[in-house]
Structure 1
Amino acid sequence: MSEKQAAEVVVLPREEEEEANEPVQKNQFDLNSYDTDSTEIDLTHTRADHIPDLSRFPNIEELRMRNNLLTVFSPTLSSLVSLTSLDLYENQLTEIENLDGLVNLVTLDLSYNRIRKISGLDKLEKLEVLYLVNNKIEKIENLDALTQLKLLELGDNRIKKIENINHLINLEELFLGKNKIRQIEGISSLQKLKVLSIPGNRIVKIENVEELTNLKELYLSDQGLQDIHGVENLTNLTLLDVANNEIKTFNGVEKLDALNDFWANDNKVESFNEIELLSKLKDLQTVYLERNPFYFHDVNQYRRKVMLTLTQVTQIDATMCRKATT
């Protein structure tokens, strides 16, 4: 053994070595601890490798099996007709199946699994909340039956296009962050939408949002936006996040009369005069503006200058400030 190889050898203490060689203890739960009339069963972090037979709990409404070792949806799930909430966050599931009997399901969380395709949801007509964060999904599809959906979370997948959701007219919150989306599209009919979150994608232009007049929060940070044009009609917007883009001017933001929060740090705005546009927004309370070029022009006076220009704000970047007196 060479000196380099010897240096790479890690010697475990006897106790740790024995523990490392022990087989994984699975299914560390006891259903006998639950009454048969229980409405909620929580088997989180019990190292479960299967969904047990829960037929003796006829009133169960909520089932949580987060942080386990599940690889498949047990056929026994379909018998849980009374179930309204199913949480299988962080397991090893690869395919959505055996959910047809859950006709009363309202909330479904399948985040942090290994699911490659949206499927098996056709019978869940009462579903209002669907989480599919951090899977391997490449396409938005097979949501035709979910017309009651109010929240759809598909962040951190492999999605390239916003499609097949125009029929979700009851949708209020849509999350598509950290995908590969290049264009905002296919959402014009979502008139009830209040939150649209698409950070960390490949969008270079704000477009096709002018009809979303009920929108209150818009998140578009960490991509390639050049300006803020396209938001002028969103008069109910209270939060706009365009941080870490390529924006060179704040033109357009002054028309958002209801704006409370404006996050535009880490952009390319050169002139401090751009901040004067924000002085017209009487309800503005929080601004994030640091690390734009104007910030580096006079770092020591930056905060003071913002306070004098935007007397209505109560927070500048991560620091609270005393509201100016009249």
Structure 2
Amino acid sequence: MSEKQSAEVVVLPREEEEETKEPVLKNQFDLSTYAADSTEIDLTHTRADHIPDLSQFSKIEELRMRNNLLTSCSLSLSSLVTLTSLDLYENQLTEISNLENLVNLVSLDLSYNRIRQIVGLNKLNKLEVLYLVNNKIEKIENLEGLTQLRLLELGDNRIKNIENISHLSNLKELFLGKNKIRKIEGVESLKNLQVLSIPGNRLVKIENVEELTNLKELYLSDQGLQDIHGVETLNKLTLLDVANNEIKTFDGVQKLASLNDFWANDNKVESFSEIEHLSKLSDLQTVYLERNPFYFHDTNQYRRKVMLTLPQVTQIDATMCRQAAQ
């Protein structure tokens, strides 16, 4: 180093150097605020990188540690056998571990983590609600023991096939949006299913839902559906969402006598006469039809024509049509 370069080197005093360092983040647990007989512990946003020792709380039923820095479910968690609800939403978990002893769990939320595989849940035979949204899961598996499950949420993962859920006879709500699914399959035995949500996948037709006769809501938007055939037997269906597909006809919807909501905007329907398929649905209240080709044929008269064709409807797209008409 030259003399000139050496002269330009500035050495900070020790105190000033220490002041420039970033403060070290520490877990901000304050368990002293909870009584020993507390049934609910909330450690959300505590910047936690581990689950603290909670063994002093012998009656704890609900534990929330949302939005923290957890990388694993520590062994201390396995002693909390009284837990009925565990919420670890938005952490940095890479695997499911140390949950086998939590046999009283009814609700488990592991959404927004980095989990790649469903494991370690088979012994949780009281579990009714399971959230695994926004992880890195590629396969539905290892759910054999969860026969009491009522809600399963696996949206925003990497799943390609609907499989290994036929035994979930008590399932009422199944959410699989934003995956890589090309075919509706493996759901035929889910006789109690009321909500099936598979938007944002790679479907090109509706199939294998004929036996889901208790289905009330079906969400299939944002993919490549060509028509809506396949839903005709769903007599209890109150909501059908097929928005943003490649649909060219509404034929088939007229058989859904209980339909309240029909969302079919952003499709490829050319003829306004297709709306007449909806005219005999007396329970229909809301329709989303905008941005189909027939919408652009006459945007000024579009709403008026829909109102005249479907006088039973109270909302067209995002606007209450009767209020707009006053």
State if a TM-score over 0.5 links the two structures: yes
Question: Which of structures 1 and 2 has the bigger CA Rg?
Answer: 2
Q: State the partner residue of 1:8.
A: none
Q: Is 1:191 matched with 2:191? A: yes
- Is the partner of 1:51 in helix, strand or coil? coil
Q: State the partner residue of 1:42.
A: 42
Partner amino acid, structure 2, of 1:52: P
Q: State the partner residue of 1:72.
A: 72
Residues 313 and 323 of structure 1 are in contact (CA less than 8 Å); yes or no, is this contact kept in structure 2? no
Give 1:76 deviation, angstroms.
1.0
Alignment of 1:30-179 (within 5 A): 30-179=30-179
Q: How many residues align?
A: 308
Distance 2:165 2:70 in 1: 29
Residues 96 and 120 of structure 1 are in contact (CA less than 8 Å); yes or no, is this contact kept in structure 2? yes
Deviations 1:210-264 (A, max 9, x none): 0000000000000000000000000000000000000000000000000000000
Q: State the partner residue of 1:9.
A: none
Distance 1:99 1:258 in 2: 42
Residues 210 and 234 of structure 1 are in contact (CA less than 8 Å); yes or no, is this contact kept in structure 2? yes
> Which consecutive segments of 4 or more residues in structure 1 shift more than 2 A?
18-21
Distance 2:136 2:21 in 1: 32
Partner amino acid, structure 2, of 1:295: Y
Give 1:122 deviation, angstroms.
1.6
- Is the partner of 1:78 in helix, strand or coil? helix
Structure 2: gaps of 5 or more residues: 1-17
Distance 1:24 1:119 in 2: 34
Distance 2:65 2:52 in 1: 11
Deviations 1:64-119 (A, max 9, x none): 00000000101111111110000000000001010111000000000000000000
Alignment of 1:253-268 (within 5 A): 253-268=253-268
Give 1:21 deviation, angstroms.
4.8
- Is the partner of 1:83 in helix, strand or coil? coil
Distance 2:303 2:75 in 1: 60
Distance 1:188 1:62 in 2: 34
Partner amino acid, structure 1, of 2:273: N
Give 1:20 deviation, angstroms.
9.2
Deviations 1:27-68 (A, max 9, x none): 112001100000000000010000001000000000000000
Distance 1:248 1:111 in 2: 36
- TM superposition score normalised by structure 1: 0.93
Q: State the partner residue of 1:296.
A: 296
- Is the partner of 2:243 in helix, strand or coil? coil
% of aligned pairs identical?
83
Deviations 1:261-291 (A, max 9, x none): 0000000000000001101100000000000
Structure 1: gaps of 5 or more residues: 1-17
Q: State the partner residue of 2:7.
A: none
Give 1:23 deviation, angstroms.
3.3
Q: State the partner residue of 1:14.
A: none
Distance 1:20 1:61 in 2: 43
Q: Is 1:211 matched with 2:211? A: yes
Partner amino acid, structure 2, of 1:256: L
- TM superposition score normalised by structure 2: 0.93
In structure 2, the CA distance between the partners of 1:21 and 1:279, relative to structure 1 (3 Å rule), is farther
Distance 2:138 2:185 in 1: 17
In structure 2, the CA distance between the partners of 1:251 and 1:79, relative to structure 1 (3 Å rule), is same
